[in-house]
Amino acid sequence: MNFDLSDDQRDAAAGARAFFTGSASPAAARAALEGTAAPAPGRKALADIGFLGITVPESAGGAGGSVLDLAVVAEQGGAVLAGPSLVTAARAAVLLEGAPDLAAQLADGSAALAVLDGPVSGSAPSVDAADATLFLGLDDGVLVVGEGEVVPGAPLDATRGLARVRMTSRRVLAEDAAQLWARARQVGAVVMAAEDLGAADRAVLMGVDYAQQREAFGRVIGSYQAVKHMLVDAWVGVDQLRSLVWWAAWAADSAPAELPLAASAAKAYAAEVFERAAETVVQVHGGIGFTWEHDAHLYWRRAKVDRLLLGDAAEHLDAVARLAVAGALG
Amino acid sequence: MTAVTLPPSRRRREVLPVDFDDTAEEAAYRARVRATLEERDAELLHVRPGQSADARRYEAELRATERVLAEAGLVGVTWPQEYGGQGGTLVQQAIVAQELARARVPTLINHIGIGMCGPTVIAHGSDDQRQRYLARLLRADDVWCQLFSEPASGSDLAALRTSAVRDGENWVVNGQKVWTTLAHVADFGILLTRTDPERPKHAGLTMFVVDMHAPGVTVRPLRQMSGDAGFNEVFFDDVRIPDSERLGEPGEGWRVALTTLMNERVAIGGAGSDIGQSAEALAAHARDRLPALGAEQQVLARQAVGRALVASLATRYTGYRRFTTLSQGGVPGPEASAGKLGGTAAARLVSDAGVRLLGDDAVFGATGDGDETWQKAAAYVPGVAIAGGTDQVLRNILGERVLGLPPEPRTDKSAPFSSGGRR
Ligand SMILES: Cc1cc2nc3c(=O)[nH]c(=O)nc-3n(C[C@H](O)[C@H](O)[C@H](O)COP(=O)(O)OP(=O)(O)OC[C@H]3O[C@@H](n4cnc5c(N)ncnc54)[C@H](O)[C@@H]3O)c2cc1C
């Protein structure tokens, strides 16, 4: 047993951190919310750096990497609220296993893909659909790809590129695709949990930073237990979430039978941990934390949205219980 | 755009970086452990609902079980061979723990001795002490306890008052300890005393090994909220301890105690093979009990079970991560406190979900067969949250030592203890 990242993965994380901090930021997320910019760094930059193709096979122009490789990169994107989401790339890569041409277009960015949740005739709000031109959906158990009419809304969080879509053309990619679809959704849930991990971690650090500087009643506020303990609880959650994300990503790569349980555990925990971290960073900052200019609300927005995407915590907790009762814990 | 290296995982490695599977060596070791446990199954005690009410007999059975396991080389796996251990690796120790849990063998009677007292003797004891005590401890020939807390000093351990005064080759001890787990069955204990009240509180302490059967030692069991009597008051009246039983130098007791406490957090964090902490036990219980609940209750119970399992798995895998760090040569740091916090929170959720699954039986007497396992597990959790450092104290440690937040102002660190610090 070895439950630690490899040196290669640490290097990849450091590289991804450098890339994301140079190309995306909460300021960009705010601009997206105000409608003055698209989510950063955008599809092209993500394709150029190779992040959209991390799990696409080498034969289709990808890196042929593992879900865990992708997760450590996604964590860094999450820290700065980057978009589009690597969830879309991860999920599409699974769905396009049998369509190497499309997988290649996913990896090199020549196709702007999104995966639709809910009915393809009028989808639920789906990640990265707002600026996509090609859509993957499940229609009566059949995996389809096609174009569509995008109906943007006014999402609580602008970095997720949420939109409803009505598919206008469809080509069948695979019959009997329910299982493939489910696995793709599980892998997507793992990667979203990884992005949430990065965001929650960053939120806690922002809070710690501020608590080390701000003074009240003649003392730095971080020396007060009410503040200190709130931050510790959020940090412990982040630390534990990291374990579940790595486990779930490992399961996606190496223990497929464990993936449903692990993915649901990670997604459910991510929803709660990220929400608590975001709530904490707002509270630790006091009045400043409630201002538009401060970054706290951008994390809070994503936490509120992410917890409902790809199944909310209640759905995943239920799945964990059902799977465990059915013997998934071994 | 910043230039970066891409994840070089294109080069496929033989072993995945993160890997929960056993290596060939680990698998062989696990198979050996499992075979041993199966072979000696009849000689081992097993966790079972409605456990033996006769405490004396249970104690004897626990001692016998530990002896069997020690003979089989499954106790003190990482301890040096010269003291009765196996000189094995941390991974092997974890495998043994997993296999014991799988075989439903209860927590070893000497868990405090193995987890805390023994490592302290190894680190600070004389060769003579190590030879005399350690092998016997592993076999449960002697059971050990940890005599730290006092009525007026729990979290603030260094405020303790039990005194040890030098008298020739002996020390004379007077005072009272409390909440001492296992003192009623223990043969030896590690005892923290004040030997110099004129020094600041942390500087005037000295640690000893004390014979619990020595004249002047009185043990009075205390009943806990769970109904069991697992801890005790211990009184010391002119108890004479030879100087050769000192652990570390006079005045160095705090440093010695830190070794114990560090090991304690590691020993407690994320551990637990007993029902009430185990995800597997909860899943099995849910399988039995869910069908008996109404449809709506099933939905709610599954939410509780799911939440508990997630917390439990998060704690387990965080433990694996720490443990990987340790087996790569890292030292246990303050992060271990996070393991205890997480483990306590998970144990609370797991036992609560277990109780919830009982439906009316949860509040209305025992279930038909007199099994109160889950109620007992739930009633034990508040103690878990206190023993070995309360949740608040652990949060202080994490906040200050991991997150780097400023310590609370305190006035008691430099004044002589006899002046009462700030009091
Ligand atoms: C089941 C069980 C087994 C035990 N076994 C042993 C044993 O084998 N050997 C042994 O020596 N002891 C043992 N103990 C004692 C245990 O270590 C102490 O109870 C514990 O350290 C807390 O001390 P206290 O009870 O004096 O509480 P106090 O220290 O009086 O704490 C009371 C409350 O004040 C809070 N508090 C105290 N200081 C701070 C602070 N700085 N900041 C914020 N909050 C604070 C605490 O969190 C708690 O809520 C055991 C206790 C239990 C419950």
A13-72 pLDDT, tens digit per residue, is 999 999 999 999 999 999 999 999 999 999 999 999 999 999 999 999 999 999 999 999
Supply the pLDDT for residue B50.
Answer: 55
**What value does the mean pLDDT take over residues A116-125?**
97
Q: Please give the structure tokens belonging to residue B178.
A: 């409390």
pLDDT for A39: 92
pLDDT tier, A186 (very low <50, low <70, confident <90, very high otherwise): very high
Q: Chain centroid to CA B168: how far?
A: 36
pLDDT exceeds 90 at position B48? no
Confidence of residue B6 (pLDDT cuts 50, 70, 90): very low
Nearest-angstrom CA–CA distance, A122 and A37: 26
> Are the C-beta atoms of B412 and B421 separated by less than 8 Å?
yes
What would the two tokens of residue B50 be? 């409605």
Find residue A145's DSSP bridge partners.
A136, A171
pLDDT at A129: 97
Residue from B53, B190, B185 nearest B115 by CA: B190
| Residue B287 identity | R
Give contacts of B8 with chain A, Cβ < 8 Å.
8, 11-12
Distance CA B153, CA B163 (A): 14
pLDDT, mean of residues B132-145 = 98
The DSSP annotation for A136-176 comes to EEEETTEEEEE-EEEEE---S-GGG--EEEEE---EEEESS
Q: Which residue of A has its CA nearest to B25?
A: A1
Query: Would you say residue A185 has pLDDT above 80?
Result: yes
Q: Name the nearest CA neighbour of B107 among B122, B116, B97.
A: B97
- Res A98 pLDDT > 80: yes
pLDDT for res B9: 40
Q: Would you state the structure tokens that stand for residue A156, as one six-digit string?
A: 């609580």
Considering Cα of A16, then A22, then A26, then A31, what sign does the dihedral take? negative
How far is Cα B280 from Cα B276, in angstroms, rounded to an integer? 10
The pLDDT value given to residue A149: 98
pLDDT of residue A168: 98
Instruction: Tell me: pLDDT of B12 over 80.
Output: no
User: How far is the CA of A6 from the CAs of A9, A12, A153, B223, in angstroms?
Assistant: 5, 10, 42, 50
Distance from CA of B403 to the nearest CA of A (A): 7
* pLDDT bracket for residue B265 (50, 70, 90): confident
d(CA A300, CA A290) in angstroms, rounded, equals: 10
Q: What is the pLDDT of residue B273?
A: 41
ipTM for the complex shown: 0.96
Query: Taking residues A167-188, what's their average pLDDT?
Result: 98
Is-cis flag, bond preceding A100, omega within 30? no
B18 neighbors A246 (Cβ within 8 angstroms): yes
Task: Name the CA dihedral angle for B363, B364, B368, B371, rounded to a multiple of 10 degrees.
Answer: 40
pLDDT at B49 > cutoff 80: no
Q: What is the mean pLDDT of residues B240-251?
A: 98
Averaged over B1-17, what is the pLDDT? 41
pLDDT digits (tens, 9 = 90+) for B273-287: 455 668 999 999 999
Checking DSSP bridges between strand B144-147 and strand B188-194, what pairing results, if any? parallel
Contact between chains at A58 and B10 (C-beta distance less than 8 A): yes
- Full-prediction pTM beyond 0.80? yes
Whether A181 and chain B come into contact, CB under 8 Å, resolves to no
Query: Which of B1, B2, B4, B394 has the most A C-beta neighbours within 10 Å, making it the best mutation to test the interface with A?
Result: B4
CB atoms within 10 A of CB A141: 12
Mean pLDDT taken over chain A: 97
Six-digit token string for A90 = 């991860």
Residue B369 confidence (pLDDT):
57
Best to test chain A binding among B1, B102, B317, B337 (most A CBs inside 10 Å): B317
In this prediction, residue B8 carries a pLDDT of 41
Please tell me the predicted confidence (pLDDT) of residue B366: 59
Confirm if A133 and A117 have CB atoms less than 8 A apart. Answer: no
Q: What is the mean pLDDT of residues A151-177?
A: 96
Q: How far apart are CA A259 and CA A284, in angstroms?
A: 36
pLDDT bucket at B67, cuts 50 / 70 / 90: very high
Residues of B involved in catalysis: 264
B167, containing H or E segment: strand B163-167
The C-alpha of A195 sits at a distance from chain B's nearest C-alpha, in angstroms, of 17
Q: Give tens-digit pLDDT for B414-423.
A: 889 998 765 4
CA-to-CA separations, B292 to B62, B286, B306, B361, in angstroms, rounded: 35, 10, 18, 11
Site to substitute for ligand 1 among B145, B148, B149, most atoms within 8 A of C-beta: B149
CA distance B290 to chain A (A): 9
pLDDT of B16: 46
What 3-state DSSP class applies to B100? helix
Say yes or no: A59 contacts chain B, CB-CB below 8 A: no
Q: Tell whether A63 lies on the interface with B, counting CB pairs under 8 A.
A: yes
